[in-house]
Structure 1
Amino acid sequence: MTELPNRLAGRVAIVGSGLAGLVTALTLAPQPVVLVTRAGLGAETSSAWAQGGIAASLGADDNADLHLADTLAAGDGLCDVAAAASILKAAPAAIAMLEKFGVRFDRTADGVFSLGLEAAHSRRRIVHVEGDGSGAAIVRALVEAVRKTPSITVLGDVEARRLLVDDGRISALLCATRSGALVLPASRIVLATGGLGGLYEATTNPVGNYGQGVMLAARAGAELADMEFVQFHPTALDSPRRPLALVSEAVRGEGAVLVNEKGERFLVREPGAELAPRDVVARAISAELGRGGRVFLDARKALGRKFASRFPAIDGLCREAGIDPSTDLIPVRPAVHYHMGGVATDINGRSSVPGLWAVGEAASTGLHGANRLASNSLLEAAVMGMQAARDIAGVLAPTDGTAATAPATGLPPPADLSMVPPVVSRHLGVLRNAGAMHDAIASLLPLIESEEASSDPALVALLIAVFASLRRESRGAHARPDFPLKLASAERRTMRLAEALDIARETASHPLARSA
């Protein structure tokens, strides 16, 4: 096994093959890169499942300032304004970069971008590829470009288990392969591992994604930010399928409305109605379900027979569940869709650990604040992939050696998620309270301290619970009936794992942890 790591020593190592990882690798070319992915290129990634597209201020009536205003409003006071402005301003360059790598965005008959409208956007600014198949089409084009790039070596069916740190900086990546442990010497590593929907029973994400990037960075000593902010997409298709199929906000953007089992539009008095920010819509739907009701998306009048041509992928998912969207109501429910928190980074994707970058959903740049604006995620992944690559290109790697060995403790076991989602789903859902969060901490802490197969996913879930317990207000995607009001000033929070574990141990011994 020594020949492979020695041959790849000194290369930038990228963990993950969604949009952010692929863009980082392509932008670094012709600099040698090794891309580590536990599945095939682009497989098991949220990027490939994205329906809505990419938000970009490309219309004649739009600009980056308007896009920023919408982003800040959705972010509910918690966005990093400078970071958000920088990322959104780079949208045209990101779209041009993707086109250079073979992405073909939908255009009108006169050749201009076909722009869609989604919730909380004041302009039509969502660029699509193949209608509602945007993510899959974008990832497909980038995968093809990666395969044609000789400077990128892909290690498929390889899972990163730990980051190795020497004298305070990144030194190697410890991986699991079919043949056993593999240690890749690398002083520059990029985490592009995606989100954490697999921690929840109801999610639209690949169920194996439990926040691996957060786990890797946390165990390496990196600062984490805003871990409590987990966004529930309001309209997942309510069916036995797992993960749940997504019914894009773009359907509501085309005029579909939400009704309960009585046929009532329960959001009609809310500013923006069905196109209110996601946290507002998700809470409203949860309230209807909580009283024993049901919620449906009604696209019959707005789209009718046009539904199948406008949203072919969603139409197929509905028909798989026995629903014809042109004539039937579509049953929906909230499901975990995106994590606004993650590894704290600067505008170049740098974490607090020298040699470690994070991009895409694994990172927390401050763009999304307390509640992500629809379709800003793919934009951030593309922009930050470019930004991190440019930053890394200027960082020399003189310390990458040709010899690296696994730590004495050996290879950590593969993650077992079976014990974590029931705890997380019950206690860290759309609505949270002190007793439930304390119970979550008390249940998760022993799993972490056991250092067995549940330890890694339990660690990420515990971080959500600890951050959530400290935010004694309701803001964006974090809603607490026991603290229903917002604080006068919004503050982002960063924390390292050691501090979070100290808080968790103190919390677990508190009477509240046994009273919910």
Structure 2
Amino acid sequence: MSAAPVIVIGSGLAGLMTALTLAPMPVVLVTAGRLGQAGSSPLAQGGVAAAIGVDDDTSLHLADTLAAGDGLCDAASAREIVGRGRDAIMALESHGVRFDRKPDGSYALGLEAAHSRHRIVHVDGDATGAGIVKALVAKVRETASITILEDCRALRLIKRDDRVVGVCLEGKGPVAARAVVLATGGAGGLYEATTTPLGNLGQGAALAGRVGARLADMEFVQFHPTALAVSAPRLPLISEAVRGEGAILINDRGERFMADQPGQELAPRDVVARAIAAEIDAGRKVYLDARAALGEGFVRRFPGIFALCQEHGIDPARMPIPVRPATHYHMGGIAADCDGRTNVPGLWAVGEAACTGLHGANRLASNSLLEAAVMGLNAGRAIASEMTAATVRLEPVSLPQMSDPAPVRAIVSRGLGILRHETGLRAAICALLPKAGHDDAAAVALAMAVAAFARCESRGSHARTDYPHKNASGTRKLFTMDEAFAFARELAASQPLSRTA
């Protein structure tokens, strides 16, 4: 009996890199939309963080990563991933990616928040994700060992003898797999104001959690400080690299309210996001002002962002850009090592769907594309080195109901925002619990709320108004979905929600 293929679910940078690294092993690449057009990777503006500059090294990059992670990074994972920066860039270039270079042939390196060096490698100025995905998609399409299933969703993983052996695919039923790789992206679509695709509902965490995979750091959600403040289902992003080029934040009084903060506009994202949110909560509007720093040069350095602004009637060369915080990245996810290996045999996770501990409590800018590329390389090599599993006969599985995510978005946005409090978290848990058994989005949101409730401190992106200080010895939280459900049921039963909560 021939071996089953590896099934890779998701076609962002991590999924594409995994599939290419596995060649010539048979791979089925499953994507919910059209190949190269779904997920967050094509939207990434800034670039790939890699210590390749003449004044840089991996120890500096590691130090910046650990500092941004606010004491909760897994140092070994962080060291492994940032240490592979040059390898990742070379691998991407071997697949046809063309990074921006200076006239002398060296890389044009950008600067972003909380980085001590210019180390952001980019494509076409501010179109890095689109450029990378375009090149990798072309390579995937010409790779004979990769079968592409577009407009197809994974509904449930299938376990036998404690091992994942297949996937139930929409419209196709159970499909056997030698291994399953979850590259499904994050959970930003669980919020009403987000820079991510609305369909990013934490599908990877739901699929993995339902079969007993451990989840980690689920409470840590990064809010990007500078989404374009317009009326749109998904808010366009104004890259941090604009602030790296000298743009400043002002309110509608013309005050530079970040001027007294360490690092000012290039402080860690959680610091900047909370400062902007405070201005907005006080009734003021916030703008990113690039007129002095870039002026007429804005369109040359950031052509994509310039076009985005113009679509909304804003000329960033002559006008300040209205901005607001919005959900951008989930540091939590499926607990995995740097090869993408989970605690469930046969199940792997890469990219934003995974949680290696690289990001800790707050992701360092542009480490996400780095992690996706490195994990794709690592996972592909690790899976290829394992023994081949025989094809097994699969039985039908119970499928989830497809529910409208709008009610879950409202609950999450209200209780799990930039500032959190026990009352709001308790309300979110009690509201999500009745939905979580049959609704995957609600199940992921419940796991996030439980983790946030249990973290009685403020650290990184997780800010509790009732626990404003950081604990002396904070630790990472890993748990199964069953454990999150049990916690929620006990909380709801022992301390019922009051009428005024």
TM-score (norm 1): 0.95
- Equivalent position of 1:273 in the other structure: 264
Asked if the contact 1:434/1:512 (under 8 Å) is kept, the reply is no
Task: Provide closer, same or farther for how the CA distance between residues 512 and 60 of structure 1 changes in structure 2, counting only shifts above 3 A.
Answer: farther
Structure 1 residues 220-260: Cα deviation after superposition (integer angstroms, max 9, x where no partner) = 11000000000000000000122000000000000000011
* Superposition deviation, residue 405 in structure 1: 2.8
The 5-angstrom pairing of residues 1-150 of structure 1 reads 10-150=4-144
Structure 1 counterpart of 2:410, which letter?
P
1:104 and 1:426 map into 2 onto residues whose CA distance is 42
Is 1:291 the counterpart of 2:282? The answer is yes
Distance in structure 2 (CA, Å) of the matches to 1:53 and 1:363: 20
Hey, what does 1:404 align to over in structure 2?
A: 394
Render the CA deviation track for 1:356-408: whole Å, top value 9, x for unaligned.
0000000000100000000000000000000011110111233322x32312x
Quick one: which amino acid aligns to residue 222 of structure 1?
A: A
More displaced, 185-194 or 411-420? 411-420
1:308-344 per-residue CA deviation (whole Å, 9 max, x = no partner) reads 1111111111111111101111110000000000000
Q: Given that residues 31 and 38 in structure 2 are in contact (C-alpha distance below 8 angstroms), is that contact kept between their aligned partners in structure 1?
A: no
CA shift at 1:45, angstroms? 1.2
Report what 1:390 is aligned to. 381
In the alignment, is residue 176 of structure 1 matched against residue 160 of structure 2?
Answer: no
After superposition, residues 231-270 of structure 1 pair within 5 angstroms as 231-270=222-261
- Please say if residues 169 and 187 of structure 1, whose CA atoms lie closer than 8 Å, have aligned partners that are also in contact: no
Q: 1:292-318: per-residue Cα shift (whole Å, max 9, x none)? A: 111100001000111111111111111
After the TM superposition, which of the residue ranges 181-190 and 458-467 deviates more from structure 2? 181-190
For the Cα contact (< 8 Å) 1:439–1:512, is it kept in 2? no
Q: Which residue of 1 aligns with 2:484?
A: 500
Aligned to 1:319: 310
Q: Is 1:477 aligned with 2:461?
A: yes
Distance in 1 (alpha carbons) for counterparts of 2:447 and 2:497: 16
- Structure 1 CA distance, aligned partners of 2:385 and 2:463? 42
Paired letter, 1:110: D
What SS does the corresponding residue of 2:419 show, helix, strand or coil? coil
Q: One-letter code of the match for 1:501?
A: F
Q: Where does residue 369 of structure 2 map in the other structure?
A: 378
Contact 1:416 1:457 in 2 (8 A): no
Offset of 1:126 from its aligned partner?
Answer: 0.2
Q: Deviations over 1:92-141 (max 9, x none)?
A: 00000000000000000000000000000000000000010110010000
Instruction: Note if contact 1:347-1:387 (Cα within 8 Å) is conserved in structure 2.
Output: yes
1:203–1:335 CA contact under 8 A, matched in 2: yes
Greater mean deviation of Cα atoms: 137-146 or 343-352? 343-352
Aligned to 2:7, what secondary structure does the other structure show? strand
* Equivalence map 1:419-430=2 (5 Å): 419-430=407-418
The answer for unaligned runs of 5 or more in structure 1 is 1-5
Offset of residue 412 of structure 1: 2.5
Aligned to 2:332: 341
Residue type of the alignment partner of 1:155: L
Unaligned runs of 5+ in 2: none
- Per-residue deviation, 1:510: 4.4
Indicate conservation of the 8 Å contact 1:232/1:334, yes or no.
Answer: yes
Alpha-carbon separation, structure 1, partners of 2:173 and 2:45: 36
Give the partner amino acid of 2:219: E
1:3 is aligned to none
Pairwise CA RMSD of aligned residues?
1.2
Matching residue's letter, 1:260: N
Name the CA distance, whole Å, in 2 between partners of 1:151 and 1:262: 59
Distance 1:14 1:352 in 2: 18
The percent of aligned pairs where both chains have the same amino acid is: 58
Q: Partner amino acid for 2:115? A: H
> How much does 1:415 deviate?
4.3
Offset at residue 164 of structure 1 (A)? 0.7
On the 8 A contact 1:438/1:512 being kept in 2, the answer is: no
Structure 1 residue 347 displacement after superposition: 1.9
Q: In structure 2, what is the Cα distance between the partners aligned to 1:75 and 1:398?
A: 38
Residue 168 (structure 2) pairs with residue 167 (structure 1): no
**Residues 504 and 385 (structure 1 numbering): CA distance in 2 closer, same or farther, change over 3 Å?**
same
2:401 paired with 1:417: no
* Distance in 2 of aligned mates of 1:283 and 1:115: 28
Separation in structure 2 between the aligned mates of residue 328 and residue 507 of structure 1, nearest angstrom: 50
**Counterpart of 1:406 in structure 2: which amino acid?**
P
Distance 2:137 2:366 in 1: 21
1:490 correspondence with 2:481? no
Pick one of 339, 358, 371 that aligns with 1:367. Answer: 358
Shift of 1:512: 6.4
**Structure 2 SS opposite 1:131:** coil
Partner amino acid, structure 2, of 1:318: C
CA distance in 2, matches of 1:389, 1:11: 13
Question: Deviation of residue 511 (structure 1)?
Answer: 3.9
Q: Check conservation: 1:435, 1:512, Cα contact below 8 A.
A: no
What is the alpha-carbon distance in structure 1 between the residues aligned to residue 403 and residue 372 of structure 2?
26
Give, in whole Å, the separation in 2 of the partners of 1:74 and 1:205.
22
> Shift of the alpha carbon at 1:186?
1.1
In structure 2, what is the Cα distance between the partners aligned to 1:500 and 1:404? 29
User: Is residue 441 of structure 2 the alignment partner of residue 457 of structure 1?
Assistant: yes
SS in 2 for 1:118: coil
Aligned to 2:433: 445
Distance 1:398 1:152 in 2: 18
1:196–1:339 CA contact under 8 A, matched in 2: yes
Q: Which residue of 1 aligns with 2:343?
A: 352
Query: Normalising by the residue count of structure 2, what TM-score does the alignment of the two structures yield?
Result: 0.98
